[in-house]
A and B are shown apart, each in its own frame.
Chain A
Amino acid sequence: MTDNLRTIIIDGEEIDVPNHYTLLQAAEAAGKEIPRFCYHERLSVAGNCRMCLVELVGAPKPAASCAMNVSDMRGGPNGEPPAMNTASPMVKKAREGVMEFLLINHPLDCPICDQGGECDLQDQAMAYGRPGTRYTENKRAVEDKNMGPLIKTIMTRCIQCTRCVRFVTEVAGSPEIGMLNRGEDAEITTYLEAAVESELSGNVIDLCPVGALTSKPYAYNARPWELKKTETIDVMDAMGSWIRVDSRGPGVLRIMPRVNDEINEEWISDKTRFIWDGLQRQRLDAPYARKDGKLVPVSWEEALGLAAEKLSGNAKQIGVIAGDLNSIEELKAAKDLFDALGVTSIDGRQDGAKLGTGPRESWLFNSTIAGIDEADAILLVGTDPRLEAPVLNARIRRAWLERDVKVGVIGETGDLTYPFEQIGSGPEDLKGFGGKRSGFTKTLKDAEKPMIIVGMGALARKDGAQVLRAAGELAAKVGAVKDGWNGFNVLQTAASRVGALDLGFVPGKGGKDAGGIQAAAKSGKMDTVVLMGADEIDADFGKAFVIYIGHHGDRGAHRADLILPGAAYTEKKGMWANMEGRVQFNARAVFPKGEAKEDWAIFRALSDRLDKTLPYNSLEELREKLIADHPVFGGIDHAPGHATAAEFDVASIGEAGDMGTEPFRSAVTDFYLTNAIARASKTMADCSALKSAPHAQAAE
């Protein structure tokens, strides 16, 4: 694409725009608003709604501005620059005509439509439509279609813009939605009304400009204008997608994406979007202590006293395991407290990932997520990005779709929505891969910007450190790390993991890791185990006293002897570092449930009782201390990327040694149930059931 500028006249004003722009883009560059339904800047151009008609001076008919290029415009007879009008009487009449046709078959059910108040059709009918109707015939009615547990359909409202069809075909890569029949009988449906199987399917709800596709779990829950909108970030995976949490009173009622081109563009996964009903279920809303084998509610006073008593014991006999959803602040408070107590058995890697020693780059997604758009060959090792980070996977898919980027896979994966070369399944194949001279090794070596993405499937295992070394050596061999490009990437699956590792939330001198703590507890060598929202472990700790600090009654809380209720990610202010090492703030949308407290405050209160008072009284003071101790958290909203590529010795990360023979399997087996909030969500349970038995459900 060349950036040849061309001078055109829009509404009488001259403007220079790149030649490859469409008229719609040119008009936007000139600050003119063009109404549209089918056009979407991240999808292909369809040109079927005709709402974006503009007048080309000299042309007999109006033209669809989304589908015509500036380079195709014709100048005036005397060499004047080409001109278009976006507000002339002809355009006004054209828009009114299109609007009238669109509304002919659109029901007048706005009062009972969930899209009401945020509906493109409603807004544009007000702005560009005729004041009344001339249509007195019967309207058409269309049968509603089943699209699964997430998408509710009222197909009579559909205006056939085909945004949903293009989204699932192009971005999500699971072409299941299509338009059947023709003309006035055209209907949008999935094949035989099966549920959409994509992990990104919820995005069609945002894309739908009318109320045809709406959110099934959110149906009839609220009107957009009654909701408090909180702009925050997501913790369902390690991407840190930008989201907006809509809440009313104490309840989160829906979650929508925000645009961030460097992370999630404007998509979010179904887990991110539909998790919210899990925030109301299975909540820990009061401190609980186990008395006579049963958990009974107790006062904070009693609970903190009991916790302090248990934590004042032998520091060597105390273990701390942090889960996947903790904010950096609470990890910092916990680490400060346990350091002061002399506890060394602390671990922020409940899955046993062998990361956290060596340079920071060895656990980051160094190419950055946006860097996928530049990569020209991608090797996936022990990861299934479709399950671990669906939005990131969509970016890889686009790299294949638009630039035919070759993807190789070592490990077991499902359908990734793009073709890939299966190179092998286990460490042996990774070892042998770098030595080859042909095949994908050559593709990777020849690539200008090769990417190696190592997942938890390869690192969260006994030989993880050795696999990390092998992957690092491979990255060095193919020249993945060089000036201006760092192609070594670790795809984290837990939102809190990078923060924990950056903080050094790993075993200290003589300390045990998560597996060690568990083994010691089972054999009676551990008195007290503190679980900070650690639920993705086998909660068997022998006879040890288990203190659970978290927000959901999941595996950890079931085993706990003492529960200190904390706040979920929508209920506290906090910082999270995403897989790129990008530190982001979230915001509080609602308050913690019942008597629950923000987690850092629990540690602060506990420290008081243990006479090790933490030196901060507010979150701001905590952040000050955090950034003073760890300057890396000062780079808010910034992904380090390749800035440190020159100092990064990728070949020496991990540990040398022999690797096992077990094949790499993705760390995520059930996309919909990866954390405690998701397991409490009915919507996620429905999705999971559908995924495991799609055919039994499709017939309903």
Chain B
Amino acid sequence: MSARKIALDQPESFSFSKESEKEIKFWLNKYPEAKKASAVIPMLWIAQKQEGWVSEPAMREIADRLDMPKIRVMEVATFYTMFNLEPAGEHLIQLCGTTPCWLRGAEDLKKVCAEKIGPRGQVSADGKLSWMEVECLGACANAPMVQIANKAGDHYYEDLTAETMGRIIDDLVAGKTPKPGSQTGRSCSEAEGGSMALTDGALYDGSLAKKVKLPNTSPKKEKA
């Protein structure tokens, strides 16, 4: 990974939206006035959720609000790789390139992304997409996978192939919302071809359950 730099083209100004203000209020409430600088990470996160990235004016705004030096905010924003220092597309594809995903074909996904969207870190012409490579997102059982961040939230798309990856990108461009989760149709990370263990339906209907007396429960609650 090379050094992250803030974007050369920066907007003139930045202001928090109404929804963001609500969230800011919630976070600032958590810290005493004298320690409000503790809210710097949530604040950066809110700014990123709003704009898709953290611009320099946003860092200044946050520094002003939290009464801390600008450089301290910039230190935090550049330290954590989850803060985008350059504009991102409406849908940001975060492609896992760590060993399990890489072994299962992350390189193919990269190729698809590069073909369909453009070079890494660049926003596509229509502004809808951009992609980046990230470190392990912890879904190794469903490798290879990407996380797609947009206004609707951050969702995992797992068990990808070049083909399914391409389809997801096409769907996003078309304005559709592809279904998150495994793209092979399996549930969570169950074995290929369906579950082979814990298949007995009785396990789930409560018929096998034994009554357990929990310690430290009030008799009143037990009665109910």
Contact = CB atoms under 8 A, between A and B. Distances in A.
A195 B74 CA distance: 17
Given A177-B71, A191-B70, 16 more contacts: A169-B69, A175-B69, A175-B71, A175-B72, A176-B69, A176-B71, A178-B69, A178-B72, A180-B74, A180-B75, A180-B79, A182-B78, A185-B4, A187-B3, A190-B71, A191-B69
A175 to B, nearest CB: 4
Interface string B168-197: 000000000000000000000000000000
Interface in B94-150: none
B78 A181 contact: yes
B21 to A, nearest CB: 25
A192 interface: yes
A650 B70 CA distance: 45
B71 A181 contact: no
Contacts of B74: 178, 180, 191
Nearest to A180: B78
28 contacts: A142-B3, A169-B69, A175-B69, A175-B71, A175-B72, A176-B69, A177-B71, A178-B71, A178-B72, A178-B74, A178-B75, A179-B75, A180-B74, A180-B75, A180-B78, A180-B79, A181-B3, A181-B4, A181-B78, A182-B78, A182-B79, A185-B2, A185-B3, A187-B3, A191-B69, A191-B70, A191-B71, A192-B56
A176 B68 CA distance: 11
A111 to B, nearest CB: 27
A142 B5 CA distance: 12
B216 to A, nearest CB: 38
Interface of A: 142, 169, 175-182, 185, 187, 190-192
A546 to B, nearest CB: 50
Contacts, number: 35
A190 B56 CA distance: 14
A175 B74 CA distance: 12
B1 interface: yes
Contacts of A192: 56
A177 B74 CA distance: 11
B28 to A, nearest CB: 21
A531 to B, nearest CB: 45
Nearest to A179: B75
Contacts of B75: 178-180
Chain A interface mostly: mixed
A99 to B, nearest CB: 24
A181 B79 contact: yes
Contacts of B3: 142, 181, 185, 187
A176 B72 CA distance: 9
A580 to B, nearest CB: 33
A142 B78 CA distance: 16
Given A180-B78, A192-B56, A185 B1 contact: yes
Interface of B: 1-4, 56, 69-72, 74-75, 78-79
Contacts of B4: 181, 185
B34 to A, nearest CB: 12
A563 B88 CA distance: 69
Chain B interface mostly: helix
A191 B68 CA distance: 13
Nearest to B59: A191
Contacts of B1: 185
A144 to B, nearest CB: 14
Nearest to A175: B69
B98 to A, nearest CB: 16
Contacts of A178: 69, 71-72, 74-75
A179 B78 CA distance: 9
Contacts of B2: 185
A576 to B, nearest CB: 37
Contacts of A190: 71
Nearest to A176: B71
Contacts of B70: 191
B1, B2, B4, B78: most-surrounded residue (chain A CB, <10 A): B78
Q: Which 3 A-B pairs have the closest CB atoms?
A: A178-B71, A175-B69, A185-B3
Contacts of A175: 69, 71-72
Nearest to B10: A192
A175 B71 CA distance: 7
Contacts of A142: 3
A192 B4 CA distance: 14
A175 B3 CA distance: 23
Contacts of A181: 3-4, 78-79
Contacts of A177: 71
B2, B4, B71, B79: most-surrounded residue (chain A CB, <10 A): B71
A619 B190 CA distance: 96
Contacts of B71: 175-178, 190-191
B116 to A, nearest CB: 29
A201 B208 CA distance: 74
A177 B71 CA distance: 7
Contacts of B78: 180-182
Nearest to B79: A182
Nearest to B77: A180
Contacts of A180: 74-75, 78-79
A482 B115 CA distance: 82
A607 B185 CA distance: 108
Contacts of B72: 175, 178
Nearest to B81: A182
B11 to A, nearest CB: 15
A187 B4 CA distance: 10
A464 B1 CA distance: 64
Nearest to B69: A175
A179, A180, A185, A187: most-surrounded residue (chain B CB, <10 A): A180
A169, A176, A177, A181: most-surrounded residue (chain B CB, <10 A): A181
A187 B71 CA distance: 12
A520 to B, nearest CB: 53
Nearest to A177: B71
A178 B78 CA distance: 11
B192 to A, nearest CB: 38
A175 B68 CA distance: 9
Contacts of A191: 69-71, 74
A142 B79 CA distance: 17
A187 B78 CA distance: 10
Nearest to A187: B3
Contacts of A176: 69, 71
A267 B71 CA distance: 24
B9 to A, nearest CB: 14
A187 B56 CA distance: 18
Contacts of B69: 169, 175-176, 178, 191
Contacts of A169: 69
Nearest to A189: B71
